[in-house]
Amino acid sequence: MENLDEQTLPAWWKDVQKALINEQMDTFRAEFLELHPYDQTQIFLAQNKNERMLIYTYLSPEEMAEILENIDLDELDPILTEMDARYASQVLGEMSTDDAVDVLNTLDQNEVASFLTIMEKEDAEDIKGLLHYEEKTAGSIMTTEFIAIEATMSIRESMLHLRKEAPDAETIYYVYVVNEDKKLVGVISLRDLIISEEDWTVADVMSDRIVSVSVGEDQEGAAKMMRDYDLLALPVVDFQQHLLGIITVDDIMDVIDEEASEDYSKLAAVSGMEKPDTSAWIAAKKRLPWLIILLFLGMLTASLIGRFEKALEQVPLLAVFIPLIAGMAGNTGTQALAVAVRGIATGESKNDGQVRILMREALTGLITGISCGVVITIVIYLWQGEFYLGMLVGLSILGSLVVATIAGSFIPILMHKLHVDPAVASGPFITSINDIISILIYFGMATIFMDLLIS
């Protein structure tokens, strides 16, 4: 699928490729299965359909599952489709439940139903249990393959249990302790298990101060918790503290990156992050809705300026400073927006802090506004010899910067409070609003002080 330079391929890649082309199944398996799943995936993705069909016959569903877990979700659909349906459902059954659920969530209802019908009953049950959690909650990214023991077991028994369960578990580095009702009562790290005496009981060693996350909690909250507490896995519980699953650190790394990318995309009005290999048509299709909206907001600005046509006819020089004033308002608004959005996202700005943030932004707007206003007044006076025009532009900048800074922080906070998707408060949207406000301030003041300007 990718253009790979033959010369730079490592030796192991060439060996695997040769075995595949010569249809030597045994050599292929010996070489290929030695590799890390990530490298296996890279080789798999570089093959044509013929070779891929061959690979499906060479690898067991379990071996194939490891490869699929490393492939981006949006590339998986054609791969699952070209597989034999029974093989595909076996592969899905062998994947970690959280990954299998992610895959199924990208397919349509009918496909999901048909896969689940063919799948082994136990796997299908596990997956069905997870499918109904809302996207981006702790429940949607957890896996049910954890190891649970009872507090009365000895360390020796626990280690035996752990060895037995290890092949299927997502992590063995934390073992969770549950009571007879399956409620979470403690946790032991493998580290603690290993350094404990064999005849102690689990209750002696376990920690009963458990950090856990509720199943409906936002995935970002779970990520924050795992970072704060430096956890490799986080237990997920329901309201009665029943242990439902665990979230592992590899999934959280993706969440951290995803959430940061999302905020980033919003700031730039790119809906969903494009990959470098997205085609121009798809990229244009993704960007156009935003651009058309902004086009009409721009028309609004234009019609607004149109109302001041008389002022423009009297002092054509006024037009010269339109982009400067609108641009400055846009820039400060974007700065304030960026700070507010990240503050909300990382949970650093709590409810009582939001008034403080707004006050802070207003003051910041005032300081930067006065500074920029004074500079521009002096520059225009020295450059054009126009004192009143300089004052007009300077005061407009001051007014625009204060309003733009407040708007840039107030709008996302308001959206967040109203539980509206803050995507509407994206960078260019705030910029357009600030364009309009700043032009109103500029031409409003120009109209009032017109006598000074034309005298």
Near its own copies in 279-318, by CB under 8 A: 279-281, 283-284, 287-288, 290-292, 294-295, 298-299, 301-303, 305-306, 309, 312-313, 316-318
Closest approach of its own copies to the CB of residue 358, in Å:
11
Q: Does 352 bind its own copies (CB under 8 A)?
A: yes
Nearest of 169, 175, 193, 437 to residue 326 by alpha carbon: 437
CA separation for the pair 13, 3 (Å, rounded): 15
Q: Does 377 bind its own copies (CB under 8 A)?
A: no
Contact track, its own copies, 206-245, x by CB under 8 A = ---x-x--------------xxxxx-x-------------
Phi/psi for 360 (5° steps) reads: -60, -45
Which C-beta is closer to its own copies: that of 141 or that of 439? 439
Which C-beta is closer to its own copies: that of 140 or that of 171? 171
Q: Does 349 bind its own copies (CB under 8 A)?
A: yes
Q: Which of residues 162-201 bind its own copies (CB under 8 A)?
A: 162-163, 166-167, 172-173, 190-191, 194-195
Cα Rg of the chain, angstroms: 30
Stretch that binds its own copies, among 51-59, 82-90, 130-138, 247-255 (CB under 8 A): 247-255
Distances (CA, A) of 382 to 356, 372, 396, 419, 450: 39, 15, 18, 50, 21
Q: Does 62 bind its own copies (CB under 8 A)?
A: no
Q: Which of 253, 414, 448, 452 binds its own copies (CB under 8 A)?
A: 253
Q: 191: phi > 0 → left, psi -120 to 50 → alpha, else beta; which? A: alpha
Q: Which of 9, 35, 45, 107 binds its own copies (CB under 8 A)?
A: 35
Which C-beta is closer to its own copies: that of 21 or that of 319? 319
Closest approach of its own copies to the CB of residue 400, in Å:
12
